[in-house]
Every structure is written in C-alpha cells, then in structure tokens.
Amino acid sequence: MPKARLTPASVAEAAAALVDEVGFDNLSMGLLAERLGIKTPSLYKHVTSQADLAHRIAILAMTEVGDAIRDAIQGRSGSDALAAGAQAMRTYVREHPGRYAAGNAARPTGPDDPFIPATERVLASLSAILSGYRLDPDQEIHAMRTLRSAVHGFATLEAADGFQIDASVDESFTWLINFIDQGLRAGATIGNDSAR
Amino acid sequence: MPKARLTPASVAEAAAALVDEVGFDNLSMGLLAERLGIKTPSLYKHVTSQADLAHRIAILAMTEVGDAIRDAIQGRSGSDALAAGAQAMRTYVREHPGRYAAGNAARPTGPDDPFIPATERVLASLSAILSGYRLDPDQEIHAMRTLRSAVHGFATLEAADGFQIDASVDESFTWLINFIDQGLRAGATIGNDSAR
DNA sequence: CCAGCTGGCTAACATCGTTAGCCTTACGCT
DNA sequence: AGCGTAAGGCTAACGATGTTAGCCAGCTGG
C-alpha cells in the first residue's frame, strides 16, 4: 500500500477537511496525525507549527472562496451575478465552515504572505459583482464593504446555528440578496447620500 | 487590605475585561488568576471550568449588547432608531471585541440557559428597530436577519481588521445604515418580492 | 556501493486545564 | 465565649497537547 507522499500542501488539505468536520477550534495535531496514519511529531516534518498549519488552511480557504465566487459569476452580470456570487459564498461557508473560520482568524504574517493576494482575489470577485451596477466610484468601496458584511455575516451566523426561529433560512438569504440588489439598482439611479 | 470578595459574577466580569484586552482565543485561567491576585486552581472555587467561564462571558456580552441597543433606540423611531441602534451595536463590538467573540462562540447548554433570553433580548431590540418601518409581517423575520447579518458582519470584520483598503470605515458604516434604511423604506412601500 | 537526505519514530519537556486534599479564617449557633 | 463549619485560598499532582531532540530505516544520486 504505497501511501500518498505527504507534502505541506497535502497536509494542509487534510487538516482543512478535518476542521470542516470537527470545527476549527477543535483542530489538534494529534487528531490530524491520526488521520494521516502517522504519529504527532512526524507532522513537524511538513509543517513548522500548529499556527503555520492554521495559516495554510486559511490561505486554502480564501483561495477556494475566491475561486467559487469567480466561477459562479462567470457569464453573468447584474442581479444574476450578485445572486450567484452570494449563493456561492454562502454555500462554501456552509460546506466548509472550519476552513472559512480559519480564513477569518488568520492575519497576514508579512508583506509577502500569500494570504494577502488570496483575500484580494475574494474582494476582486465581489468588486466584479458590483461592476454590474453603475455605481458612483466613490461609493463602490462602501458598497463592497456592505455586500461583504451582509453575506459574511449571514453565512457565519448560519454556520454558528445563529438563526433559531423556525423560518426558512434559504428564503431569508434570497430575501437578503434581493434587498441588496434592489438597493444597488436604486442607489445607482437616485444616488445614495451617506450624509444624513 | 480587604480584597473585594470574589463571586462567579465578578470573576466573569474580570474575565470579560481580560478577553477584551488579549482576545477571546487567548483567554487562559492562569492569566485571569494573575489579574485577580490568586493562583490558578483557586478560580475553580468560583467557576466550574474554563468553558463555564466562557459561557458566563457570553451571557454578559449578550446582555450588554441588548441593553446598549435598547438604550440607544430609546425615544427614537424609524431611520433614527436604526442608525442609533446599529451604531450602538457596532460601538459595543469595537470596544468589547473579546466579549462579543465569546457571545458568538457560545451555544445554549439547555432549555434554562440564561444565554437564551439574553440573545432573545438582542433580537427583540432589532425587532423594535424594524417596527418603525411598516413591513409586511411575513417579511419581518427576513428583514431582521438581514439587518442582523449586515451589522454583525460589518462589526466582526472591523474587529478582525478585515477592512484593509484605505477608506473611512466610519463612512462605510453610515453608508451601510443608509443603504438599509432606504431599502426598508422602499420595501415597505413597493413590496419586496423575494421570488425572483 | 555508499553518502546523505527524507520522513518516519520514541523519548522527553513545557504549558495548560483540572482535581485532590490541606489549611486558615470568618461567622453563626448554642 | 467557644466551637463547628463553610468559604476560599494554597500546593501537589495528573492528563492532554504542542513542540523539540535525537535516532534510524530506506531510497536515491554520485
């Protein structure tokens, strides 16, 4: 039985699968080693520390989220792109809660950290969604933060079982998307005065 | 020098102050004991475990968030209530990131968990904000989840230093509030068809 | 053929959370 | 007044977990 040769990347991939099952907080070197059929200290031949491992998961997660959104909005624009992109992000979080949590917990370790371009790609995808709405350039950054906050907030609350009331979460999410879509379309037309 | 007598509540309060400084993930029994001028095992005279401690912080946080929003919307309605309530919540998260993180990580331990009414009070405050907009009752739950997701998402991203681009975060938040306000007002008038 | 790197392993250590058991002090009850 | 008891501190010790050190087998290239 030739075991697949372990690499830092493959170890991180296995760890990502693990945290999706047991939760990011419950990541442990022992558990991961067991999954891989090796003893705990052997992990350190591939990864320098648990923090390093968590960081690799985070990069993986950001990359995957970015890809998921990008793929989802391929060939779509305007409202369709928004709906597809937001659903893709939410679906990713639901299917990979541990990875996504790792992505949120991570912070860049330096200027060359691949985590930085990975997160930038996510933001670029969101920006691409917004490009379908003809927004005032000054407002695009605010719109992006709003969109990101809403989808991120919804997805994390959902992942944390935060929606207790017995009402369809799916329906709420499409409502949210619709709400944002209408607001963006209106904002493009009538302008959005942020000074109240 | 009569030290203030320790109680489970006062220990939780001290722990809450601690996590706001060092981050919820960095909560440790040793650190807390040091703050209180006692040795680590003595903590167990007041708190049954670290999980218990975290849970108490969570209840404290939810209670405080609920109070903060309720106080902020006192005497206001409509757009004013929305702006005040959302700002209050955001401010709370910014000033008490550790507590708030504890509140999010917590899950009810049983049907009598005081954590449940505490979170319900937060939702009730959000609901009170929405009552100023004449929404279709069927949509109110969706609007509440949307509002909660947006503010929660924004505040947590901000607390995690998630907004990298050099643009005013304050401005973005007022933009978000305005965006939601306009959407809610429009939705009350023209209706919001969640089926696309 | 052998030198050396790769990647496993065992042993050992530090740090935490946690439990057990002791001891002092304050307080209430007779 | 005195004594029993509970509160609340402490030290010692254990288990789990992250981490390091050091050893060794085997493949691989010269």
* A116-154 pLDDT tens trace: 999 999 999 999 999 999 999 999 999 999 999 999 999
**Residue A58, both tokens:** 């985070």
Residues of chain A positioned with their CB less than 8 A from the CB of B172: 141-142, 145-146
Using CA coordinates, name the residue in chain A closest to B138: A167
Give residues 104 to 163 of A whose Cβ lies within 8 Å of B: 104-105, 107, 119, 139, 141-143, 145-146, 148-154, 156-157, 160-163
pLDDT, mean over chain A: 94
Is-contact A61 A16, C-beta < 8 A?
Answer: yes
Contact A175 B146 (CB under 8 A): yes
Cβ-nearest to B149 among A105, A107, A153: A153
Q: Is B195 a residue whose pLDDT tops 80? A: no
User: What is the band of B188 on the pLDDT scale with cuts at 50, 70, 90?
Assistant: low
Q: Is B68 a residue whose pLDDT tops 70? A: yes
What contacts B32, CB < 8 A, 6 or more positions away?
B11, B14, B15, B18, B43, B53
User: What is the band of A1 on the pLDDT scale with cuts at 50, 70, 90?
Assistant: very low
Q: Phi/psi at A28 (nearest 5 deg)?
A: -145, 150
Model pLDDT for residues B110-144, shown as the tens digit of each residue:
999 999 999 999 999 999 999 999 999 999 999 99
Percent of chain A exceeding pLDDT 90 equals 89
DSSP B166: S
